[in-house]
Amino acid sequence: MRKSKFLSIFLAVFLSAALMAGCGSDTGRRNREVRIGMTVYDEYDTFLSELTEDFMADVAEVNAREQGTAVSVLRFNAAQSQITQNEQVEKMISKGCNVICVNLVDRTDPSMIIEMAREADIPVIFFNRELVEEDLMSWDRLYYVGADAFESGKIEGRTAAAYLKAHPETDRSGDGVIQYVVLEGEAGHQDSIVRSETSVDALIEEGIQIEKLESSIANWNRGQAQNRMGQLIDRHGDAIELVLANNDDMALGAADEYDRRETPAKERPAIIGIDGTKVGLEGVRNEKLIGTVYNDRKGQAEAMLKLALAVAAGEPADDLPLADGKYIRLPYAEITMENIDQYDN
Ligand code: BGC
């Protein structure tokens, strides 16, 4: 999609200032090094693997464009263990990282990481899995990059409502009420809790009569969602008219189950996700999903790199949209068949 003009301008200004202030005697050689440590809760998570890919592409762009600059990234997969992630951060510090980007495994347990970073005076940017405010405020070199979960749920609900109004046949039972199920992400994740609530609120606000049949946790995962959807179908049969999934992978898992059962299109519920991952977009294009909500991973990756370069150098990040000096949240956007061509990523 949009390419990073903002990033280019920012980097040009930031890096020239940094180079002037840096070890200027090495003219012609790489004389500015930024080492970024990065750990994700699970590298097999579709959204995060795409976000990481975008981040690495941005880093490569900086290195190619800025002579005399070497940004390197030391990457780790925490494989769903907070203990492993704490050890990874320890390693990053011992290997001389100047800034650390953490996608927490357990968003309620950042204390070890904060303590180690603080002791070594290395700034930390948390991303995507939001720690509680009290933890983020506990030291001035801690930041968060993500998005506003409330907005994603609202857009999901509104998009579903618009579809239902345009497709009255979705109410297969003809009772004037849409029977729905929810596929939820991890229990305790800010996005699961908030998206599940606000998507339903938005449907009600839009005047759709709804009835919840059941919700089921599938931990953001396509395979688990397929399995859960199988159980939901076994219990509720073709009464299910709408599937609200907290992300695209789970929405696609639900569609996979209908594919496995060879359910004809007319007998399937409307299925909607959130993220706009590559596979999610493909799901919208081939009409497995009625829509999705763009979780701006490119914007998040870009903001994280800009912030990382600024804070690593101890620069004020004045030109970044930092709320409370701490938070950068990128907006979400609706994606349907109508506008999907803008999202050719
Ligand atoms: C994304 C999910 C992802 C999760 C991981 C959410 O913001 O929508 O797809 O699995 O973050 O933390």
CATH, residue 231: 3.40.50.2300
Q: What is the rounded distance in angstroms from the CA atom of residue 24 to the CA atom of residue 139?
A: 32
Classify residue 342: in a domain, yes or no. Answer: no
pLDDT class for 341, splitting at 50, 70, 90?
A: very high
Same domain, 169 and 112: no
Is residue 45 lining ligand 1, measured as CB closer than 6 Å? yes
The CA 70 to ligand 1 mean position distance, Å, reads 30
CA dist., res. 154 & res. 109, Å (int): 28
Boundary (domain end) residue, out of 273, 294, 315: 294
> 226 CB less than 6 Å from ligand 1?
no
Confidence at 20, pLDDT banded by 50, 70, 90: very low
For the chain, the average pLDDT equals 92
More confident residue, 7 or 341: 341
How many whole angstroms from 275 Cα to the centroid of ligand 1? 8
In a domain, 337, yes or no: no
Q: Are residues 155 and 286 in the same domain?
A: yes
Name the percent of the chain lying above pLDDT 70. Answer: 91
Q: How confident is the model at residue 291 (pLDDT cuts 50, 70, 90)?
A: very high
Kindly report the backbone phi and psi dihedral angles of residue 329, in degrees, each rounded to the nearest multiple of 5, phi listed first.
Answer: -120, 125
For ligand 1, say whether the CB of 54 is within 6 Å of any of its atoms. Answer: no
Q: CA neighbours within 13 Å on the CB side: how many for 24?
A: 6
Q: What is the pLDDT of residue 316?
A: 78
8 Å CB contact between 187 and 217:
yes
Q: Which of 26-40, 146-160, 221-235, 309-323 has the lowest mean pLDDT?
A: 26-40
Task: Reduce the DSSP state of residue 222 to 3 states and report it.
Answer: helix
pLDDT of residue 2: 43
Given a cut of 90, whether residue 31 has pLDDT beyond it is no
Checking if the pLDDT of 327 tops 80, the result is yes
Domain range for 36: 5-147+296-330
Concatenated DSSP letters of 250-314? HHHHHHHHHHHTT--GGGSPEEE-SB--HHHHHHHHTTSSSBEEE--HHHHHHHHHHHHHHHHTT
280 shares a domain with 157? yes
- Per-residue DSSP letter, 194: H
pLDDT confidence of residue 9: 46
* CA 84–ligand 1 middle distance (angstroms): 20
Question: 336 lies in a domain?
Answer: no
Asked whether residue 161 falls in the same domain as residue 278, the answer is yes
Q: Is residue 126 part of a domain?
A: yes
Closest by CA to 215, choosing from 261, 223, 262, 199, is 199
Q: What is the mean pLDDT of residues 10-14?
A: 45
Do 71 and 117 lie in a common domain?
yes
Task: Say yes or no to pLDDT of 54 above 80.
Answer: yes
**Confidence band of 317 (pLDDT split at 50, 70, 90):** confident
Q: Is the pLDDT of residue 30 over 60?
A: no
**pLDDT at residue number 32:** 78
Q: Which residues contact 54 (CB under 8 A, 6 or more apart)?
A: 297, 298, 301, 302
Closest CA to 76 of 114, 115, 37, 124: 37
Q: Does 340 reside within a domain?
A: no
129: Cα within 13 Å, side-chain hemisphere: 25
Ligand 1 centroid to residue 27 C-alpha, Å? 43
Band of residue 318 on the pLDDT scale cut at 50, 70, 90 = confident
pLDDT score, position 21: 37
pTM: 0.91
Ligand 1 atom closest to the Cα of residue 189 is 12
Q: Do residue 18 and residue 38 come from a single domain?
A: yes
- Torsion, Cα of 208, 209, 214, 218 (10° steps): 0
Q: What share of the chain is helix, strand, coil (3-state, %, to 5)?
A: 50, 20, 35
pLDDT at residue 16, rounded to an integer: 40
Residue 153 has pLDDT above 70, yes or no: yes
Domain-embedded: residue 338? no
pLDDT single digits (tens) 166-194: 999 999 999 999 999 999 999 999 999 99
Same domain, 143 and 155: no
Cα(169) to ligand 1 centroid in Å equals 31
Q: Tell whether the model's pLDDT for residue 269 goes beyond 60.
A: yes
Q: Based on the domain organization, do 19 and 133 belong to the same domain?
A: yes
280 and 197 in one domain? yes
Please indicate whether residue 107, judged by its CB atom, sits closer than 6 Å to ligand 1.
no
Beta strand segments in the chain, E: 32-40, 69-77, 99-102, 124-127, 142-147, 178-184, 210-217, 242-245, 270-272, 292-294, 327-330, 333-335
Q: Whose CA is nearest to atom 10 of ligand 1?
A: 220
Same domain for 288 and 157?
yes
Hey, whose CA ends up nearest to atom 11 of ligand 1? 128
Whether residue 109 is contained in a domain is answered as yes
**Looking at residue 345, what is its pLDDT?**
60
Average pLDDT over residues 228-250: 98
Mean pLDDT, residues 269-297: 98
The three-class DSSP label of residue 18 is: helix
Instruction: Please report which confidence band the pLDDT of residue 200 belongs to, taking 50, 70 and 90 as the band edges.
Output: very high
Same domain, 100 and 10: yes
Surface-to-core class of residue 293, CB atoms within 10 Å of its CB (0-12 exposed, 13-18 middle, 19+ buried): buried
Question: How many residues does the structure list for the chain?
Answer: 345
Evaluate whether residue 162 is within a structural domain: yes
Count of structural domains, the chain: 2
Do 272 and 287 fall within a single domain?
Answer: yes
The larger pLDDT score, comparing residue 16 to residue 126, is at 126
